[in-house]
Amino acid sequence: MVKRYGTSSMECENGIYVLHAEYEKVLAECERLRADAARFRWLNSQRENVWHEFASMPMNRTCEVIDQEIAKEQS
């Protein structure tokens, strides 16, 4: 059974309604996952050149450094 929530809802592609707040959470998670996927694709394409550098880097710096490298390539 599908619940319908009045004006504070968004219709999804499958016709099921969700609360707008839940829809916004899903969109935000999607954007975070897009960034992670872009980092993975970049890292995978550079694996022969950068694995050693990233292996010795503190984990909290890897996303920041990868984002900077992606930005350099795009500019």
Is the pTM higher than 0.75? no
Q: What residue has token string 């550098």? A: 53
In a domain, 42, yes or no: yes
Answer yes or no: is pLDDT of 71 > 90: yes
Q: What residue has token string 């890292």? A: 43
Q: What residue has token string 């009045």? A: 6
Instruction: Give burial (CB, 10 Å; 0-12/13-18/19+) of 9.
Output: middle
**Contact present, 69 and 42 (Cβ < 8 Å):** yes
Instruction: For residue 35, give its domain range.
Output: 6-74
Number of domains in the chain: 1
In a domain, 51, yes or no: yes
Model pLDDT for residues 1-42, shown as the tens digit of each residue: 455 555 555 556 666 677 777 878 888 999 999 999 999 899
In a domain, 1, yes or no: no
